[in-house]
């Protein structure tokens, strides 16, 4: 059996008021860094929940308005949603604005091979506009600052957030 292949991801349901997330089974998401890790003097804690964000909240609203929920489900179900873990990790950083200043946020993500996400978002980009193009399929394993991690909607955002690749 291919240890990097995750189970197929069935339709998780959709709400245009929320991000469109695909849950990943925690038991399949072991990482080589332990429960706490440190990179570049930054100590990060392991998450207990894992997912792939297919569409941000704003993208989900726009997709629902542009295509409707039934068409989104049909498009989703036309693809084989079977992610493959890459074993490639990156350290990300973002200073998020808060009501009292800024919050230093750090994450370690693992890139996923998920052709279905590229096809899904590519079709949305074709129908609704380029904001849906260039996804970065990934799972966040470790965080500091914001327990939800750092929003990485596309390759341009990734380039701005990535500090460096990390290895065990």
Structure tokens at 161: 């957030």
Burial grade of 131 (CB within 10 A; 0-12, 13-18, 19 or more): middle
The pTM of the full predicted model, rounded to 2 decimals, is: 0.93
> Would you state the structure tokens that stand for residue 136, as one six-digit string?
């970065």
Instruction: Report, as an integer, the average pLDDT of 158-164.
Output: 98
- Residue 168: band (very low, low, confident or very high) from pLDDT cuts 50, 70, 90: confident
Taking residues 8-25, what's their average pLDDT? 92
> Rounded to whole angstroms, how far apart are CA atoms 125 and 134?
9
Per-residue model confidence as pLDDT tens digits over 69-95: 999 999 999 999 999 999 999 999 999
Q: What band does 1 get if pLDDT is binned at 50, 70 and 90? A: very low
Torsion of CA 89, 41, 50, 147, to 10 degrees: -150
What is the band of 16 on the pLDDT scale with cuts at 50, 70, 90? confident
For a pLDDT cut of 90, what percent of the chain falls above it? 90
Report d(CA 110, CA 70) in Å as an integer: 31
Residues 109, 20: Cα–Cα separation, whole Å: 18
Kindly report, residue by residue over 96-143, the tens digit of the pLDDT. Answer: 998 999 999 999 999 999 999 999 999 999 999 999 999 999 999 999
User: How do the domains of the chain map onto residue ranges?
Assistant: 20-166
Distance CA 51, CA 139 (A): 6
């Amino acid at each position: 059996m291919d240890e990097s292949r995750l189970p197929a991801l069935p339709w998780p349901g959709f709400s245009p008021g929320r991000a469109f997330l695909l849950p990943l089974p925690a038991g399949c998401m072991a990482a080589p860094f332990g429960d706490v890790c440190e990179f570049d003097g930054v100590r990060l804690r392991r998450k207990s929940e894992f997912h792939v964000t297919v569409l941000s909240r704003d993208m989900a609203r726009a997709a629902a308005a542009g295509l409707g929920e039934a068409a989104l489900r049909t498009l989703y179900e036309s693809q084989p949603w079977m992610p493959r873990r890459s074993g490639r990790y990156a350290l990300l950083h973002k200073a998020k604005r808060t009501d009292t200043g800024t919050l230093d946020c750090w994450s370690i993500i693992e890139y996923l091979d998920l052709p279905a996400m590229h096809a899904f978002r590519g079709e949305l980009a074709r129908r609704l506009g380029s904001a849906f193009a260039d996804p970065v399929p990934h799972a966040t394993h470790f965080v500091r600052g914001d327990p939800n991690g750092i929003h990485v909607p596309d390759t341009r955002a990734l380039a701005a957030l990535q500090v460096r690749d990390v290895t065990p």
